[in-house]
Amino acid sequence: MALFVIGDTHLSLATGKTMQIFNGWADYEKRLENNWKRVVSENDTVVIAGDVSWAMSFEEGKADFEFLNSLPGRKLLMKGNHDYWWATKKKADEFFEANSFNTLNILHNNTYTCGNIAVCGTRGWFFDAESDADKKVVLREVGRLKASIAAAKETGLEPVVFLHYPPLNVSQRCDEIYNVLVEEGIKRCYYGHLHSYSHATAFNGISDGIRFSLISSDFLEFCPVPVYENMSI
């Protein structure tokens, strides 16, 4: 039993909006499938940290969800800035159940356990959220992050945070999100969103006792990476 993570799968099996036009993304869906099957088993869990699908609705994303459901393991799906199909957790759960996508779960204001880890997190937001509208979004994301961490802590397991937007890079921080991580005593945080040349701006290392790791799919060469392996159930 193991916990893996990858972000930014950007699936587009029915919409025609493919990432293959970008450098490094050739045959990415097939590469993701092959790598996933090579490293993930049926008893494992994989967090997909946002930008799951280009679909605009559940129905439009059906082929993408079917693809994910066919892969080994349980999947915990998070919201990214391109997940326009996203609605409420209740609606997603109902859609997944109606279509027998029984390995797909939504991480949103809640937690899931895997071995000795409690998975928690939220989308996050931009570093430079200066407008009133942006500030409202940041505050909502802070609330969601706190709710998810609180649920994780109730399990008595280690809360590990997953975000879509980076809470910091080599020169900036989203203080509202970052401060929650520090105040809550989080030790590990995984994030996505950054692609191509933006990888160079990513912070991979330890800050204030927290280890931050970039897990965008192109950064990982489309292979989920382990958070913990060989965990006891």
Strand order in the sheet with 225-228: 104-106, 74-77, 45-48, 3-6, 225-228
Q: pLDDT for 6-53, tens place per residue?
A: 999 999 998 878 787 778 899 999 999 999 999 999 999 999 999 999
Q: What is the mean pLDDT of residues 198-205?
A: 96
CA distance 159 to 156: 9
pLDDT(232) > 50:
no
Q: pLDDT for 147-162, tens place per residue?
A: 999 999 999 999 999 9
Looking at residue 14, its pLDDT comes to: 86
Count CB neighbours of 231 within 10 A: 16
Strand-pair partners of 53: 11
What are the structural domains, with CATH classification, of the chain? 3-228 (3.60.21.10)
Q: Return mean pLDDT, the chain.
A: 94
Assign 3-class secondary structure to the chain. Answer: CCEEEEECCCECCCCCCCCCCCCCCCCHHHHHHHHHHHHCCCCCEEEECCCCECCCCCCCCHHHHHHHHHCCCEEEECCCCCCCCCCCHHHHHHHHHHCCCCCEEECCCCCEEECCEEEEEECCCCCCCCCHHHHHHHHHHHHHHHHHHHHHHHCCCEEEEEECCCCEECCCECHHHHHHHHHCCCCEEEECCCCHHHHHHECCEEECCEEEEECECCCCCCCCEEEECCCCC
CA distance 95 to 141: 24
The proportion of the chain whose per-residue pLDDT surpasses 70, expressed as a percent, equals 98
CA distance 72 to 37: 7
**pLDDT band, residue 233 (cuts 50/70/90):** very low
**pLDDT band, residue 180 (cuts 50/70/90):** very high
pLDDT(132) > 60:
yes
- On the 0-12 / 13-18 / 19+ scale of CB atoms within 10 A, 107 is buried
Q: pLDDT for 65-98, tens place per residue?
A: 999 999 999 999 999 999 999 999 999 999 999 9
Q: Residue 143 contacts by C-beta under 8 Å, 6 or more apart in sequence?
A: none
Looking at residue 230, its pLDDT comes to: 54
Residues 113 and 119 sit within 8 Å (Cβ to Cβ): yes
Residue of 209, 203, 196 whose CA lies nearest to 165: 203
Q: pLDDT for 96-115, tens place per residue?
A: 999 999 999 999 999 999 99
pLDDT(134) > 50:
yes
